[in-house]
Amino acid sequence: MRVVEASDRVQRARKFIWLTVGITIAACAPWQGWWPLLLLAPAGIALSLLDRRLEHSDRPERLAIGTLLFTLGLFGAATALTGGPDGSAAPLIIIPAFVAPMRFRGKVVVAFCVLTVLVLLGATVGVDPSGAVNDPRLIIATIALLVCATSANWALVEAEMQQRDAAVLDPLTGLLNRKALEARALELEQQARLTGASVAFVACDLDNFKDVNDTHGHDRGDAVLRSVAYQMRKALRSFELIYRLGGEEFLIVLPAAGHEEGLLVAERLRKTTEESRPGGLPVTCSFGVSAGSGGDVVYDRLFKAADEALYEAKAAGRNCVVAARSPEPATMAAPALAPAG
Ligand code: GH3
Ligand code: MG
Ligand code: MG
């Protein structure tokens, strides 16, 4: 998830990084010629291929690490070819390790830093041993830069990850996320058990959303998600809660609502989505509805029932609402909530 999720941020940073590398090579051209610019081409091709393939890959981490290794190899080659221990490209060799924390966790980053040091030594000491021994300042400073910059970036990325784990808002749509749902579901479960109140769950999934991404691009897909979230939030009352579970899946929790009300709300949301043409596209949603009251309000069970109904809505041709079959008694499915003793 982290490998793929980081793509937007990495892509933005990458533009500045490669522009800076290009300017650096151009500025050093009077001393070493223009040819190192040629090394930018394979790096650019590898990185654009990575972006295209990452989202659809079964093993995105392998693709990402492969591309990092490839760019490290290019920087190593540039260091060796621009003069080894005197090479102007030597400090640039830290760039792949510096960006590694954005996609990878600690152990991989440490391994990548060690590898970077080995490539640096190979491209400097390996190319010109006596030059490296006579004046190792650039090598030492580059290793120091590698450790300082990468550890600072690592600390920043980890802090962001921790904040994100603690957050209850989905950054793309501004809706509540799965973490917020867990806390609210437990509250509703306990409340219903005490008061006998009912709760309805509406599971929602965008139809053929993969096609939107494939045809119009990921950014347009994001715009569609934001628009769907906004239209649905607008169509719900303040105490009716909507959560983004992840991807293009949402859950609407309706306190004090039964089956009938759940179906009405779902149908209203279905129509709203269809009529609003989110992101300017003919996007539709499918819905599954479940409800329970009192001791029957067991989140896991009602969510599963709504999800199964949603699956049936997909099978029935999409852009429709399906009610869950009558659930089994709560005590059978959730013995933990059966009265003690
Ligand atoms: P179905 O009607 O059966 O639900 O088909 P589908 O194409 O919507 O279903 P599937 O689950 O195969 O595809 C969901 C797609 O949602 C795959 C993924 O690329 C995309 N997706 C998930 N999260 C995001 C996101 O945050 N932004 C964008 N743009 N796309 C996302
Ligand atoms: Mg879908
Ligand atoms: Mg889905």
Residue 78 CB–ligand 1 contact under 6 Å: no
pLDDT band for position 311 (cuts 50, 70, 90):
very high
Is there a single domain that holds both residue 140 and residue 261?
no
Catalytic residue among 158, 187, 248, 274: 248
Is there a single domain that holds both residue 260 and residue 164?
no
Going from the Cα of 210 to the center of ligand 1, the distance in angstroms, rounded, reads 5
Is there a single domain that holds both residue 183 and residue 152?
no
pLDDT (tens digit per residue) in 182-222: 889 999 999 999 999 999 999 999 999 999 999 999 999 99
Is there a single domain that holds both residue 190 and residue 281?
yes
- Count of domains observed in the chain: 2
Is it the case that residue 341 has pLDDT exceeding 70? no
Look up tokens 């959303």; give the residue. 209
DSSP for 194-230, please give it.
HH--EEEEEEEEETTHHHHHHHH-HHHHHHHHHHHHH
Does residue 338 fall inside a structural domain? Answer: no
Residue 206 CB–ligand 1 contact under 6 Å: yes
Is there a single domain that holds both residue 147 and residue 190?
no
In this prediction, residue 72 carries a pLDDT of 93
Q: Please name the residue whose Cα sits nearest to atom 21 of ligand 1.
A: 247
Spatial strand order of the sheet with 321-323 comes to 176-177, 241-246, 249-255, 198-206, 285-293, 321-323
Q: How far apart are CA 254 and CA 238, in angstroms?
A: 10
Does residue 160 fall inside a structural domain? Answer: yes
Is there a single domain that holds both residue 77 and residue 117?
yes
pLDDT (tens digit per residue) in 283-304: 999 999 999 999 999 999 999 9
Is there a single domain that holds both residue 149 and residue 238?
no
In this prediction, residue 34 carries a pLDDT of 82
Mean pLDDT in residue range 64-73: 90
Look up tokens 């940073």; give the residue. 13
Question: What range defines the domain where residue 103 resides?
Answer: 2-168
Q: Which residue has the higher pLDDT, 236 or 3?
A: 236
In this prediction, residue 333 carries a pLDDT of 35
Q: How far apart are CA 71 and CA 67, in angstroms?
A: 6
Is there a single domain that holds both residue 191 and residue 60?
no
In this prediction, residue 340 carries a pLDDT of 37
Q: Which of 137, 168, 199 is the last residue of a domain?
A: 168
In this prediction, residue 1 carries a pLDDT of 61
Q: Which of 168, 202, 232 is the last residue of a domain?
A: 168
pLDDT (tens digit per residue) in 81-103: 888 888 778 899 999 999 999 88
Q: How far apart are CA 5 and CA 209, in angstroms?
A: 18
Q: Which of 143, 168, 193 is the last residue of a domain?
A: 168
Does residue 196 fall inside a structural domain? Answer: yes
Angle between helices 137-166 and 106-124 (to 10 degrees): 160
Q: Which residues pair with 285 in a beta bridge?
A: 206
DSSP for 93-160, please give it.
GGHHHHHHHHHS-HHHHHHHHHHHHHHHHHHHTTT-HHHHHH--HHHHHHHHHHHHHHHHHHHHHHHH
Q: Report DSSP state, residue 325.
A: P
Least confident segment among 16-30, 54-68, 101-115, 159-173: 54-68
CATH number for position 266: 3.30.70.270
In this prediction, residue 35 carries a pLDDT of 80
Does residue 253 fall inside a structural domain? Answer: yes
Is there a single domain that holds both residue 291 and residue 182?
yes
Does residue 11 fall inside a structural domain? Answer: yes
Is there a single domain that holds both residue 314 and residue 254?
yes
Q: Please, what is the average pLDDT of the chain?
A: 88
CA 277 vs CA 165, 211, 267, 282, 341: distances in Å = 32, 15, 16, 5, 54
